[in-house]
């Protein structure tokens, strides 16, 4: 069974790498977020987008959560510049000295900042990291045909797969169903439990950690990748799990970003997507279940991928196992719950993490980092 890509046509919109002989009028060194969006668009992960949004689609998305053709799309994907180029200009997009793509300027427009912030983040508070990143953008947005010249992803972690590649692996593995798990943190026993709950019902697990731009206090990507590898090596059925890096940048847009994450995982070929409590949230900007409930408002045709909603889980001393409040009747004093802050503190102080909380192999990787 193959799941269609997002959008009316149902096909992945993958940009081929081509030779482009046209004259580049200006080169732009793109930032980490622009690079992430370029990778997502050109790999097909943001199908049906084929380039950064024009003003019509930008307005349609921030006003109604849909592209002009009515396809569900929660968040504007735009290319910002500090100074307005003239229409017809070819912009050369460079990163790390490499010329990755050309963007032909068909349209230059100014964003509706207030409307965009409220639509995407539900707040204009500059303390919100996604709001801050939006406010820090260049003044103008640019759109036009995008031509890919070089592979934009560097794969420094050695686990990158494009949607075409992940779909090929799912098919080769004969998985009829694949559930994607988005994370930007090490996987503790609680997450492992949810993965295994999913594996009782679904054929394949796609562990798809975000290793692009995140908040500063997250654990470094290379440490997280090593923790994933030792966890999978020691505790997961190898023929039913696939680890690959997710190249998008975090926006911390809560419910809106949950939809974006689901759309892209459908493009990667997944049939199911796990949405936990406060998915893609930050601080107290979103309700605990807002990123789950947002899917209730969609119609059946909006998404092909199915959402699996999970509660927080924890080790319960009475149950003698990992459970959640959906499955455990015992009072919270029987539960072993450690916040991310507490875990980081224990790691800094050299206190061993309890094995009911973190597999010892994973703890060793994290301790190594904090020593």
Which residues are at the interface with a copy of itself (CB under 8 A)?
193-197, 199-201, 234-238, 240, 308-311, 318-329, 355
Report the residue number, 351 or 360, with the smaller CB distance to a copy of itself: 360
Q: Which of 31, 118, 185, 309 is catalytic?
A: 185
CB of 301 to a copy of itself, least distance (A): 17
Report the residue number, 30 or 328, with the smaller CB distance to a copy of itself: 328
Nearest to 161 by CA among 232, 245, 239, 238: 245
Report the residue number, 122 or 321, with the smaller CB distance to a copy of itself: 321
Report the residue number, 153 or 265, with the smaller CB distance to a copy of itself: 265
265 as an active site residue: the answer is: no
User: Do 247 and 268 touch, CB atoms closer than 8 A?
Assistant: no
The 8-class DSSP code of residue 303 comes to -
CB of 363 to a copy of itself, least distance (A): 14
Burial 269-289 (b: 16+ CB within 10 A, else e): bbbbbbbbbbbbbbeebbeeb
CA distance 50 to 293: 29
Burial 213-235 (b: 16+ CB within 10 A, else e): bbeeeebebeebbbbbebbbeeb
User: Do 2 and 43 touch, CB atoms closer than 8 A?
Assistant: no
Report the residue number, 141 or 308, with the smaller CB distance to a copy of itself: 308
185 as an active site residue: the answer is: yes
Peptide bond into 48 cis (omega under 30): yes
Report the residue number, 259 or 328, with the smaller CB distance to a copy of itself: 328
> CB 87: neighbour CB atoms within 10 A?
12
CA contacts within 13 A on the Cβ side of 6: 33
CA distance 257 to 299: 18
CB of 333 to a copy of itself, least distance (A): 16
Nearest to 346 by CA among 355, 335, 354: 354
Report the residue number, 199 or 230, with the smaller CB distance to a copy of itself: 199
CA distance 131 to 121: 7
The residues that bridge with 339 in the sheet, in sequence order, are none
CB of 231 to a copy of itself, least distance (A): 11
From residue 353, alpha-carbon distances to 70, 122, 162, 362 in Å are 49, 37, 35, 10
Q: Which of 66, 118, 184, 229 is catalytic?
A: 184
CB of 149 to a copy of itself, least distance (A): 43
CB of 308 to a copy of itself, least distance (A): 7
CA distance 175 to 203: 5
CB of 74 to a copy of itself, least distance (A): 24
From residue 191, alpha-carbon distances to 14, 106, 157, 236 in Å are 32, 46, 22, 12
Task: Give me the active site residues, please.
Answer: 184-185
């Amino acid at each position: 069974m193959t799941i269609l890509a997002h959008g009316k046509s149902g096909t992945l919109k993958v940009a081929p790498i081509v030779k482009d002989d046209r004259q580049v009028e200006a080169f732009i060194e793109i930032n980490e977020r622009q690079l992430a969006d370029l990778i997502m668009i050109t790999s097909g992960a943001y199908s049906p987008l084929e380039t950064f949004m024009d003003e019509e689609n930008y307005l349609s998305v921030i006003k109604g959560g849909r592209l002009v053709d009515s396809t569900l799309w929660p968040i504007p994907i735009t290319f910002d510049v500090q100074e307005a180029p003239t229409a017809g200009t070819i912009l050369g997009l460079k990163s790390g000295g490499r010329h990755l793509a050309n963007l032909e300027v068909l349209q230059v427009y100014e964003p509706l900042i207030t409307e965009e912030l409220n639509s995407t983040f539900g707040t204009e508070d500059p303390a919100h990291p996604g709001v801050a990143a939006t406010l820090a953008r260049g003044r103008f947005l640019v759109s036009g045909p995008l031509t890919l010249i070089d592979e934009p992803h560097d794969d420094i972690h050695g686990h990158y797969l494009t949607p075409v590649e992940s779909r090929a692996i799912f098919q080769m593995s004969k998985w009829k169903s694949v559930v994607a798990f988005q994370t930007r943190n090490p996987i503790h026993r609680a997450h492992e439990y949810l993965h295994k709950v999913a594996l009782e019902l679904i054929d394949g697990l796609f562990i798809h950690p975000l290793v692009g731009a995140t908040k500063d206090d997250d654990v470094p990507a290379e440490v997280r990748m090593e923790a994933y590898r030792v966890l999978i090596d020691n505790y997961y059925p190898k023929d039913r799990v696939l680890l690959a890096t997710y190249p998008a940048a975090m926006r911390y847009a809560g419910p809106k970003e949950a939809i974006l994450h689901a759309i892209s995982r459908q493009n990667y070929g997944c049939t199911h997507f796990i949405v936990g409590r406060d998915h893609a949230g930050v601080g107290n900007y979103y309700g605990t279940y807002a990123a789950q409930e947002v899917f209730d408002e969609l119609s059946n045709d909006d998404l092909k991928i199915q959402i699996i909603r999970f509660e927080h889980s924890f080790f319960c001393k009475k149950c003698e196992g990992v459970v959640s409040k959906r499955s455990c009747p015992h009072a919270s004093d029987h539960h072993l719950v450690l916040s991310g802050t507490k875990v980081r503190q224990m790691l800094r102080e050299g206190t061993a993490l309890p094995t009911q909380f973190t597999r010892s192999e994973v703890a060793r990787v994290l301790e190594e980092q904090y020593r």
